[in-house]
Structure 1
Amino acid sequence: MVRGKTQMKRIENATSRQVTFSKRRNGLLKKAFELSVLCDAEVALIIFSPRGKLYEFSNCSMNKTIDRYQNRTKDLMSSNSTAIEDVQLEKEYDSFSMTKKLEHLEVCKRKLLGDGLDLCSIDELQQLERQLERSLSKIRSRKYQMLKDEIMKLKEEEKMLLEENAALQIKVISESSKKQESNQRSESSNHEEIMDVETELFIGPPERRSNNNNNNNNNAFL
């Protein structure tokens, strides 16, 4: 039969609680004995029942084990206290060191800006000069690099604009050519229509057409 899982809470029934205490107490005492024998460990176990009755087990002197426990606890507390003090001292030293570094950086900053140079020696002034020259060289190098990048960018934009302009010119020439061809076709069509009209007006041999023109002129003179 499978045993159900016991809930870790106070047993309300007094009889069940007493039975469970007796069973678990005997099991705990047995485990303590086995641990001391199998592992050669110094074990001391103290149990007080709900009614105040004492149950204990020790594979050696109970008082000796308790004294050893108390001494060990004092040593741990002392070592922890020392460790805490060391940590605090280290933090204070780090804070002091950081403050000194910040003050030194502030003094260097003022000197680089030209303030507080009256108390500087020749060597310090030369060192500041070299530092400023190195900084100026880096600034110029960075400026030239930025200008170079900007010029390359402008050249790429110029190339793109030239390509777009060339494409637009080709498009304009193509449209102009198409328009010219259309005009030529239109003029040719108009010329053919005029020829057709003249052909319809003058039908017959050329001699007859000349006689007709002379008669018309004589009539007009009369």
Structure 2
Amino acid sequence: MGRGRVQLKRIENKINRQVTFSKRRAGLLKKAHEISVLCDAEVALIVFSHKGKLFEYSTDSCMEKILERYERYSYAERQLVAPDSELQGNWSLEYNRLKTKIELLQRNHRHYMGEDLESLSLKEIQNLEQQLDTALKHIRSRKLMMEFWLLQNQLMYESISELQRKEKAIQEQNTMLAKQIKEKEKTLAQQAQWGQQNGNAGPSTVPTFMLPQPPPCLNIGGAYQEEGAEMRRNDLELTLEPIYSTHLGCFAA
């Protein structure tokens, strides 16, 4: 036997009403998440309890973007169908919407700064903590990217400085080599000019220090032997001269 249809009406018991609200709220949030995942839809859910506490759910895009999209769409719809008499009312609604948005941003800013947290529930504090953790991770990742970018620029600057230093050294070396080449070409041109002048004037005009000098020749078998024999004869005459003088003195006596 199936269950009968339950009549929808306000629950008078406060405890039962609070329990039912908690259960139905969790189921509603679950269904909103399921439809956003299954159908790839942007879902924004806002629930206020009978005590005025806010419960909200939004897809990957934040709640503010979804609400702004809704306001633009509904405003365009109203502009198409609304007469001119309702324009003043639309401006009033726009003013109230912007005022509410500013108050919401100010409240969120106070919560991010750690102020007015007494009015938040445990779930809202957990959501706020998650948002702060996400923002902190994002800031750290941006900091790491900035440090990596600065390090990369520093390495690039050092590489450019090293290349400039090498370029300067190569330019100085090229200048020195070009100077040496010019001096060498000048020397060769002078030598070629001297050669042409020497060829036109004859061999008598060539300086003696530029002519090759013949090596000294030693006549070992001829003049050297004759000089040696003459020196021996001179020594022999000097040795025999006293002897001849003695003999001649004896014969004279």
* TM-score of the two chains, using structure 1 as the length reference: 0.40
TM-score, L = length of structure 2: 0.36
